[in-house]
Amino acid sequence: MTKETAYAVEVDRLTKRYGDLPAVDDISFTVRKGEVFAFLGPNGAGKTTTVEIIETIRPPTSGKVNLLGMDVTKKKHDIVHRIGVLPQGFSSFDRITVRETLLYYARLFSVKTDIDGLIELVNLRDKTKEQYRNLSGGLKQRLGIAIALVNNPEVVFLDEPTTGLDPRARHEVWEVLLGLKKKGKTVFLTTHYMEEAELLADTVAIISKGKVIAMGTPGELIERNANYLSLTLKPIDEKVFEIVRKMGFGPVLDNHKNIKVRVEHTYDVQKILNAIKDAGALYLGLDVRKPNLEEVFLKLTGEALREDPDEMETE
């Protein structure tokens, strides 16, 4: 029996060991149906291992994983029809065209697929007769996403779909992912790119050394872990730096002679600007910015490394 659940994925105390290495170390999290969930973590963090356990491909060492209410170790045949997978470092048949490739994968699943609809969804209309080997990196990844969708799955797993792509190709893949969300698919995205997670994900889980070290909406993660503002001043007067330093804010100069100051409140920004004005000094421009997910990620993964005594010795 499959139980009805609001969750596409439920991971409970999952561990995967390779010899002495806990590649995934006692992690728990859930993914809601219809959300874009981003798994963010450095190389070797355990992202692919976790994802491939959820996809029924690797067996867990311990813990429990349910996909759409089904135990991934017991319901492999039922699960495979309801998920789509783009593996990390995906590749396909070199001399087979886009359309032939999709027809082939649809046949593998013995399903009737709206191939044209799929081609439309991943925006490969002009490339249907192109062989795989002649596609650019971004087009290859979009074909990979289309392959993951041939069985009209409810949950789609994409392991680093934009790694190695140039910015435009990356944006084009993002468009496709937003299209999937619009269609109500649950998307489980693995990525190294913060801006990708920040832009696309409803929920982000940061994984480091086999542990989930933070989870929440991008906004929540930023609010919780980086509650400060970054003020940048483009000064005309050299004395601006001294004024800010004397106020005790610890300014630094960047490569372009801009002054960077980290403050806690907008009130501090006002105080700094008033002090500059009172001193009769001038500045050309200013920018006040909230930290982004990248800063949170660097802070949290940095802390996780420092907490690890083995890592300290090798530093």
Ligand X SMILES: Nc1ncnc2c1ncn2[C@@H]1O[C@H](COP(=O)(O)OP(=O)(O)OP(=O)(O)O)[C@@H](O)[C@H]1O
| Residue 44 engages ligand X in binding (rule: CB under 6 A) | yes
Q: Among residues 41 and 291, whose Cβ is nearest to ligand X? A: 41
Instruction: Among 9, 36, 49, 124, indicate the residue that binds ligand X (CB under 6 A).
Output: 49
**Residue type at 102 in one-letter notation:** L
Among the listed ranges 4-12, 41-49, 136-144, 195-203, the one in contact with ligand X (CB under 6 A) is 41-49
Residue nearest Mg ion, CB atom distance: 48
Nearest distance from C-beta of residue 205 to ligand X, angstroms: 12
The entry of ligand X, Mg ion, none near residue 293 (CB within 5 to 8 angstroms by kind) is none
What are the DSSP calls for the chain, one per residue?
-PPP-SEEEEEEEEEEEETTEEEEEEEEEEEETT-EEEEE--TTSSHHHHHHHHTTSS--SEEEEEETTEETTT-HHHHHTTEEEE-TT----TTSBHHHHHHHHHHHTT----HHHHHHHTT-GGGTTSBGGGS-HHHHHHHHHHHHTTT--SEEEEESTTTT--HHHHHHHHHHHHHHHHTT-EEEEEES-HHHHHHH-SEEEEEETTEEEEEE-HHHHHHHH---EEEEEEESSTHHHHHHHHTT---EE-TTS-EEEEESSHHHHHHHHHHHHHTT--EEEEEEE---HHHHHHHHHHHHHHT-HHHHHH-
Instruction: Among 6, 13, 18, 164, indicate the residue that binds ligand X (CB under 6 A).
Output: 18
| Residue 110 engages ligand X in binding (rule: CB under 6 A) | no
Nearest distance from C-beta of residue 135 to ligand X, angstroms: 23
Contact (Cβ atoms closer than 8 angstroms) between residue 204 and residue 38: yes
Cα dihedral across residues 98, 103, 107, 112: positive or negative: positive
| Residue 46 engages ligand X in binding (rule: CB under 6 A) | yes
Among the listed ranges 38-46, 64-72, 170-178, 271-279, the one in contact with ligand X (CB under 6 A) is 38-46
| Residue 292 engages ligand X in binding (rule: CB under 6 A) | no
Instruction: Among 3, 43, 110, 129, indicate the residue that binds ligand X (CB under 6 A).
Output: 43
Instruction: Among 5, 15, 88, 152, indicate the residue that binds ligand X (CB under 6 A).
Output: 88
Cα dihedral across residues 107, 173, 95, 130: positive or negative: positive
Per rule CB under 6 A, count of chain residues that contact ligand X: 12
Instruction: Among 40, 41, 145, 272, indicate the residue that binds ligand X (CB under 6 A).
Output: 41
Q: Among residues 38 and 150, whose Cβ is nearest to ligand X? A: 38
Which residues of the shown chain bind Mg ion in the complex (CB under 5 A)?
Answer: 47-48, 88
Among the listed ranges 43-51, 127-135, 137-145, 166-174, the one in contact with ligand X (CB under 6 A) is 43-51
Nearest distance from C-beta of residue 174 to ligand X, angstroms: 19
Nearest distance from C-beta of residue 45 to Mg ion, angstroms: 8
Residues that bind ligand X in the complex, under the rule CB under 6 A = 18, 21, 23, 41, 43-49, 88
